[in-house]
Structure 1
Amino acid sequence: MERKQISNLVKQMNVDSATGPVDTRVQEIIVRLVTDLFQAIEELDIQPSEVWKGLEYLTDAGQANELGLLAAGLGLEHFLDLRADEIDLKAGITGGTPRTIEGPLYVAGAPESVGFARMDDGSESNKIDTLIIEGTVTDTEGNPIENAKVEIWHANSLGNYSFFDKAQSEFNLRRTIFTNDKGKYVALTTMPVGYGCPPEGTTQALLNKLGRHGNRPSHVHYFVSAPGFRKLTTQFNIEGDQYLWDDFAFATRDGLVATAVDVTDSSEIKRYGVDRPFKHITFNISLAKDSVSAPSAEVERRRLCA
């Protein structure tokens, strides 16, 4: 069947057959996607059994709550970031910390504080290195932004996230820190580790078919926002991880690689209020001013809320 025939067929089924109110945007998107799907079935000679196996896979992935993971693994989230970069550039928005993927593991409602927060509940204090993350939030000209909202979340020593991992306490390794009058924030936490997709999960099953691994490097997620500035969704990946530039979710970008420095000096240990050597990461954040000429940087999607 030729493209024109397919297009007419899809239009007949999904446009001409309408008998009630139509959401024209949804209709436009569905017609295009279904037309492209039918064209792919024709060109690739996709068999009925393969179509139904694909639908069964999506059903299983949805039931396993892995569609968000799949979106990252197939590069969909990364593509949306690259497209957003292009849109910003056309709107004259330049500079600022690079964006990268959110991933599927954010939880709204983390405890809030100003300037400083301890993120961990102490349950892994003797199992993994202490980490102090600090930085300054500024505009693209370097002026500090007071009261910027810095939301931070990351995995524990087993690569698991609180709420999704019921063994962890509520909001373990999740905090919201508002910057102080100098634009600074400090987080006392533990070193995150890299992790992989659930080995028996639907995402890894598909990655296996593609000959790909499902591993992520050690990283820390951020939402950063302030009135008058574009919300930033980003993360830093930690230097030295074997998957730093081989992240299955394609989230590592220039400008988002952080180095964890060993701090052993007793005066520095005392100054930071800890009782032993620790790792230290500096992650400064630059926000671009908002613009009416660009789409909102706030992405609407379903997120867990405690």
Structure 2
Amino acid sequence: MKSSRLVSVLLLLQTRGRMTAAQLAEELEVSVRTVYRDVEALSAAGVPLYGDAGHAGGYRLLDGYRTRLTGLTAGEAEALFLAGAPGAAAQLGLGSPLAAARLKIRAALPPELRVHADRISGRFHLDAPGWYAGADDTPFLPAVADAVWRGRAVHVLYRRWREPTDGERRLEPHGLVLKAGRWYVVAGPGPRTYRVDRILRLSATDEEFARPEDFDLAGYWESYQRDFHRRLRTDRAVVRLAPGVTLPGAAQDESAPEADGWRRVTVRIESVDHAHAEFLRLGTGIEVLEPPELRARIARTAAELAARYGGAGAPRDGR
């Protein structure tokens, strides 16, 4: 709706300062011509909004102008309380400020919206870690977060998964990411990604660093994940799957079902070791065709299991 869009233009200029018509159009997903009309409507309504020409031009509000518009729709109030992550905030040392902020926002809401917010809080709960993974020990997370806020470099002793395992590094923390209950810090030079729970020692510094102005944490993380999965599964296996059996990960190629309902599938695997354990979970619902070393290893394991369980007598301990 136009009224909602006008409010968005006003709030964008209030929070971000000078913005060009093209920037406003991209943010609001409308045409530049629509932005021009919206700006004219705001000016006609008495909003002190000015446009500057030139390369560094754009629209801006009169210095010191702040709208007192604080209205929230029911959906916005619900989304605000649904977005709360008290566990993550507590790990960052922000548990009390978050609780206080939510309390203040709730008190400022009109009664009907307060009911919506309470309903969301009582019916949805965010629990990020996986079922079978214990919480990581991250004693240096608050210090890393502080370095991110302040734009200061840190010196760490970091443990890698391969040799040489422990090494000292100077990091320029650009941002923190919480993925499946595990904290990662994206830091320069690079930037590169580090697990916070693998930091063994940390020394804070007052050394400032220049965070790239065009660095986009969300965009970096999306690209990092794509590259990670691409590097993780570089080998391939050809298997036959029983009806109804599926494999994790996207199949490279899949044939039409055969007469008995089985399907021939080509799938990416991380390694023979990893695929051996992964495929064994499917029991008799899978037959490995390629690579030969994986098929032979599955066959040896099956033979060992048959020898162990194939006898009709009692278990070896006599029970």
The structure with the greater share of residues assigned to helix is: 2
Higher relative contact order (CA closer than 8 Å, sequence separation 6+): 1
Give the greater-gyration-radius structure (CA).
2
